[in-house]
Amino acid sequence: MTPIVSGFSKLSKANKIKWLAEHHFNNDQNVIDTLAMYWNSDNGLQKLHDEFTENTISNYYLPFSVAPNFLINNKPYTLPMTIEESSVVAAASKAAKFWQTRGGFTAKVLSTSKVGQVHFMFMGSSVILEKFFTETQSKILSSVSHITKNMEKRGGGVTAITLIDKTTEIDNYYQLHCTFETVDAMGANFINSCLEQFAKTLVSEAEKYNEFSDTEKEIEIIMSILSNYVPQCLVNASVSCDITDLPSTPTLSSQQYAEKFIRAVRIAEIEPYRAVTHNKGIMNGIDAIVLATGNDFRAIEAGAHAYASKNGKYSSLTHAEIKDGVFKFSIELPLALGTVGGLTSLHPLVKLALQLLENPNSKKLMEITAVAGLAQNFAAINSLITTGIQQGHMKMHLMNILNQFKATETEKQQLIHHFKNNTVTHSEVVAQIKKLRV
């Protein structure tokens, strides 16, 4: 049984590893060596990584890849992508190359408003509370002037505060629903700092409001926190071309391809079981950009999936149509991204990723990221309605299987050649390795 440990975070990295090895791995030297293997030889860089989070014992590497040939708003881009799934970068690159000769991707930010809330309980009259809020709103706003000063210089700040009565859902429950503009910053710390000050001012002003009874003066703050659901921080991306410019196969004409593609998207619009996997594919592309640029992929995922449910049923984030002989494929979703603050000025690869994108502001990054999601979805649907998803996916997965069986370079070359014209399955790869090793 693992003992309770006190002061673990204060131990040196070596002693943390020693404790883990002793209590979880029977002092296995291979465990210690594996952790040390992934340390950076540059002590300064390793110290930087150690300080990103708590109780760091090693680094966990993910591939840093690039996807070329993206044409976005008539400008060429090579996208940085951090992801371990083998087919994602290849699929994005293939989609980018296809649309590059058909006008490329068009993207536009529709809005950039972010949200935070002060959740509180109030036992008195909602009418008097509304009057109190109206009379003290300016004081609540001015109480954060020391926090918003620099943000306002950059064109951001608090844009609105609204009192929301939620007592029909929870007795005595109210909100201050606040909206913010954070310009090129993700803005989480800025928003939360403002919200906590709003809460303090709300309580202090209530204590001296003459129209409140003694009971009413006791506003109970439950919590003050930003929301990762940002339906007013929206971006749209799309591609379009004449139907005749779409792929055709021996079994599908371009017209049939377009119609089948639209039916596939329509199924994702009405069938949640399909929509979840459909949107997961979109997030393959989006998360890869979000990770590479040092943004919070968990927040982006949560916000995107919430937006997919905005009409009361989980649905596709992409849509397709044919109009006047033109095929159009588009996506709309919330993306609260930043290009300053956080890891953007600390992590060397994040800085490099942003340089690769020519140091975009947050709006440009929103557009680029939405395009990555749309390209990923196009590639996935293209495979699904033609060859099937496994043919391309398993060919990309081939190298992982070969590495799992410690194939030599000679074996890899022979098997790559063999599977150019043969279906890749795990069992068939194993069979072919055994043949080579007889």
Q: Give catalytic residue positions.
A: 85, 280, 296, 393
Amino acid identity at 56: T
> If DSSP codes are grouped into helix, strand and coil, which group holds residue 311?
coil
Q: Are 154 and 187 in contact (CB under 8 A)?
A: no
Q: Please answer whether residues 179 and 113 qualify as being in contact, where contact means their C-beta atoms are separated by less than 8 angstroms.
A: yes
Question: How many C-beta atoms lie closer than 10 Å to residue 79's C-beta?
Answer: 28
326 strand-pairing partners: 242, 323
> To which H or E segment does residue 33 belong?
helix 29-37
Which two three-digit tokens encode residue 385? 């309605």
Helix (H) or strand (E) segment spanning residue 175: strand 173-181
Give CA–CA dist 84/61, Å, rounded.
9
- Is 328:238 a contact under the CB 8 Å cutoff? yes
CA atoms of 283 and 287, how far apart (whole Å): 5
Q: How far is CA 408 from CA 246, 344, 395, 400, 426, in A?
A: 41, 39, 18, 13, 18
| Residue 430 neighbours by CB under 8 Å, 6+ apart | 401, 405
HSE-up of 298 (CA within 13 Å, CB side)?
1
Tokens for 201?
């001012």
For residue 334 the two structure tokens come to 């919330």
Site of tokens 């300080």: 51
Q: Where are the beta strands (DSSP E) in 324-432?
A: 326-334
What distance, in Å, lies between the first and last C-alpha atoms of the chain? 46
Closest CA to 339 of 319, 354, 357, 358: 354
Alpha helices in 6-121 (DSSP H): 13-24, 29-37, 43-50, 86-100
